[in-house]
A and B are shown apart, each in its own frame.
Chain A
Amino acid sequence: MRSYIARRIGQGLLVLWLVSFAVFSLVRILPGDAVLMQLDAAAAPTPEMLARARQELGLDRPFMEQYRTWMSGVVRGDLGRSLITRRPVTQELVKRISLTSHLAVMSMVIALLIALPIGVLAAVRQDTAADYMGRLIAILGLSLPDFWLATVTITFLAIWFQWIPPIGFAPIWQDPGRNLSQLLIPALIIGARLAAVSMRMTRSSLLEVLRQDYIVTARAKGARERAVIVRHALKNAFIPVVTIIGQQFSVLLGGTVIVEFIFLQPGVGSLLLDAVMLRDYTLIQGAVLFFAVVIVAMNLLVDLSYSWLDPRIRYR
């Protein structure tokens, strides 16, 4: 088990290094740079002025030299300074991680609270009205892109209630009421897709398990239907659901980018989008690395959870 975890951490570090190099290269392929993006439409600099500004930001140095400098900082925990605000990237990320974590966790909880009961209900009442309704909701959740859902939601909230989620962020342990009013609706939007995917997977996985011999045996022994579902079927049915949750977590994090942007929530997602638009290379690199670390860690946790769900699974 320990050697498996060590090996997986090693693989994760390799992935992170590849991500760091890819993002460092890709942002520099994008047209424009931080100097150009800071110009107002009315500004009219000469090429010499632009060159001087690039020199101040270190953008005139060779690619590999810039990468080496940045990576040597990363391994020491220093992600560099934002090219726009000149503030340390680590500081900017730390301030915003709390909101994005709240949003991601809340989205996941909401998604599972919706998905699991409906998925189970749809499976045990296969081909009934409840099943059809569950499948319809799942298809809706899959079909509605989160950017569209967020735009429509904010517009109709403003028209119907003259209210939108308050701007800013209050941690749940400081002001639970305000935290919910700020994050509940964005979390619902982000969680919609995960809910739909998990619901469908729960239904199909449970249907498959319910056809297994041991379920027939449990029923033949006279176990009540609730006990058959809860004790014997659900745990085994959850293995593919957990896998899909792990896979969808990266999509969920992607959803935070656009939803934070539209609802003016100060998270890592909106920070990343801002940074991309302003070509703030160091900030993009830092934010992408943060997302990569979270996704790698999430996948490791998902893999480790298999042995808890099914004791027959052993790691070598």
Chain B
Amino acid sequence: MKTPRSRPIVPAVVTLVLALASGSTLAQEKAPRGESPDATSFAYAAPAFIKELDSRYPAQPPVPPAPRYGGVLHFPATVRTFDPTGGYRPELALVWDTLTEWEATWYFPDVQRTPVIRKTLATSWEMVNPSTWIFKLRQGVRFHNRPPVNGREMTAEDVKYSYELLRDKVQYATRAAVVKNIQVVDKYTVKFELTIPDPKFYLNVVDSLSPVIVPREAVEAPGGLAENPIGTGAFMLKEFVPGEGALLVRNPDYYLKDKDGRSLPYVDAVRLFFTKDPATDTALFRSKQVDLMRVATLDVLYALMKTVPDLQLYRVPSFGWGDYGVSMALDKPPFNDVRVRQALSMAINRDVVAEVINRGDASLYGPFPWGLAGYTKRADYSYANLGPNYQYNPKKAKELLAAAGYPSGFETELEWAEFQGWTFNEFVQLVARFWGDVGVRVKLRQLETATWVNKAGGSQPFTQAIAAFSPIGAGPSFMDWTYLRYHSSYPRTVNRAGINDPKLDDLLTTWRQDPGDKRPALQRAIWDHLRANVYRITTIVPPHYRISQAYVHGGGNPYCWFPGYCSYEAKTAWMTDKAPSRKFDKFAQ
């Protein structure tokens, strides 16, 4: 098989020069075949395409044949530093393990209702009382066999050290800040004492937003973890090139086995490319330089399927990550009036938003994920259950505005930004149009992406309203998705909308103190309270699309649609003999 490297550069250059020399018209004519399908024709084709996706790519794909060892897996990523003390990224889970992790199975929707926790460093846990937990550790787990750690066994002392080191770091704040004290009971047992009772604390240690376990020797060595990236994970970092990529090789001593007792991981190495531009991502996928990636919109997916027809797709409704919504300055007029918020929510036709944003391939989204609101099916998260505030009703919206003292509407500013291929541009224009229909005159203000990330995250104040994703949480943790995000005792960086509602605080506090019996009813009551008060205008959430080359199998799904973060199950992925032959002695091949 010809590798991409052997492709002739001269014909490529000549053809390109000729094409470009003939003017931009050619590019415009060719564009519909590739990157951006013609908007009008694809709008008509989209429903049939979605139906085709439903039948051709079921959410639970066929079980792949037995795995094959070898190969080098390529995928795009964003890692600024391979140092857990310097910044969090899901990709760090390739090198460092948490006490447990989500088993990224294919099965939807079961996994969103009943998550499967893979026991990695911890093999069992026990709640002594809601403020005290005991975790038993796996025996015989060894750190990577590299100096200065040299394959030493991981013990309870390492867990205590890691939690004490990382719990105050900003990136682990939501998971570890509730840990008051950690005691080493014996070599393989640790006891956690919490600052607040939490009957679901075991969910806090599951993913890589909770502290990973690091060896003290590596942290204290010159250069710290950045120079000594040693963990217990399935891969060992071989080369890290900031801003460019990284190469990780298989850890031969990794402790986890697959269900048939085979050693993990299957692939020899993983190569990460730190891409920043959606056009680069798709070009890398088309040229088979990356094997897996996420796609932001149906349009891009359609364009990619035209040019890479044998790609494999995993498409699953989002639990809540990646929605399109509007946060408002709740502490000042006019948004401090619930009638205004209700009116603005009613003014938006969510069906049109779904059509424009993602050709109709999207689900409704409300105050928090469906599984936490007590619904048993994703389809129950409907207009009927969300209630009148989520149904398009411009007449009622105008009445509410008039009742709130704004019969002629008002002027407001809506901030937004481009973000990794998401279509906030179209979204804010729709919102401006719908709000304009009820008399609210919107001035759109585009922000630089980094500024928008900070404003949407509550680190900096926004002026009046901002289009952004909703805050997300870990797995099905109501604490993360809801309690922290809506309780007035938390700062804006946690309670992003700055909600201060005594009744809501009471409900949330009662929920937190309940041992578990009344929690489902309380969660539904909180859901009812939030959908009535519309503290944040939520609209739709597109599904997650994960695509892979035909020669990549298994690997589970990227679990970003479930706990909220994107990572790939590199440790269970394997590649067929049709995969390109790749070296892994250094990052740049």
Contact = CB atoms under 8 A, between A and B. Distances in A.
Contacts of B589: 166, 168
B88 A151 contact: no
With most chain B CB atoms within 10 A of its CB, the pick from A47, A152, A164 is A152
B282 A41 contact: no
Interface in A7-41: 30-32, 35-41
A162 interface: yes
A85 B588 contact: no
Given A44-B490, A271-B242, 19 more contacts: A30-B451, A36-B454, A41-B453, A41-B457, A43-B170, A43-B171, A137-B21, A144-B20, A155-B282, A156-B19, A156-B34, A157-B287, A166-B4, A169-B588, A184-B9, A261-B276, A266-B243, A266-B244, A274-B243
With most chain A CB atoms within 10 A of its CB, the pick from B17, B19, B244, B448 is B244
Contact of B287 (A31, A162, A169, A278): A162
Contacts of B172: 43
Q: Is the interface of A mostly helix, strand, loop or mixed?
A: helix
Nearest to B88: A40
Contacts of B12: 157, 160-161, 163, 185
19 contacts: A36-B459, A36-B460, A38-B170, A40-B89, A41-B469, A47-B491, A49-B168, A50-B170, A86-B83, A155-B279, A157-B283, A167-B588, A169-B588, A184-B9, A261-B277, A266-B241, A266-B243, A266-B244, A274-B243
Interface string A116-138: 00000000000000000000010
Q: Sorted from nearest, which 10 A-B pairs have the closest CB atoms?
A: A168-B588, A45-B170, A163-B7, A158-B286, A158-B283, A44-B494, A266-B244, A38-B87, A31-B451, A154-B283
Interface in A59-113: 82, 84-87, 92
B13 interface: yes
A1 interface: no
A159 interface: yes
A128 B45 CA distance: 49
A40 B171 contact: yes
Contact of B86 (A84, A180, A266): A84
Interface in B74-122: 80-81, 83, 86-89
B65 interface: no
A250 interface: no
Interface of A: 30-32, 35-47, 49-50, 52-53, 82, 84-87, 92, 137, 140, 144, 149, 151-164, 166-170, 180-181, 184-185, 188, 261-264, 266, 270-271, 273-274, 277-279
A159 B286 contact: yes
A85 B89 contact: no
A303 B80 CA distance: 41
B21 A277 contact: no
Interface stretch (B22-30, B192-200, B328-336, B550-558): B22-30
Contact of B24 (A40, A144, A278): A144
B226 A86 contact: yes
B307 A159 contact: yes
Interface residues of B, number: 85
A35 B459 CA distance: 10
Interface string B445-463: 0001111011111011000
A169 B450 CA distance: 28
Contact of B245 (A151, A152, A167, A184): A167
Contacts of B472: 41-42
A38 B92 CA distance: 14
Interface in B264-322: 273-277, 279-280, 282-289, 307
B318 to A, nearest CB: 14
Nearest to B12: A161
B276 to A, nearest CB: 6
Given A44-B493, A271-B243, A162 B451 contact: no
A163 B285 CA distance: 10
B9 A262 contact: no
Given A50-B459, A166-B5, A184-B13, A158 B450 contact: no
Contacts of A32: 450-451, 453-454, 459-460
B587 interface: yes
B226 A152 contact: no
Nearest to A96: B243
B515 to A, nearest CB: 25
A312 B455 CA distance: 60
B497 to A, nearest CB: 13
B14 to A, nearest CB: 11
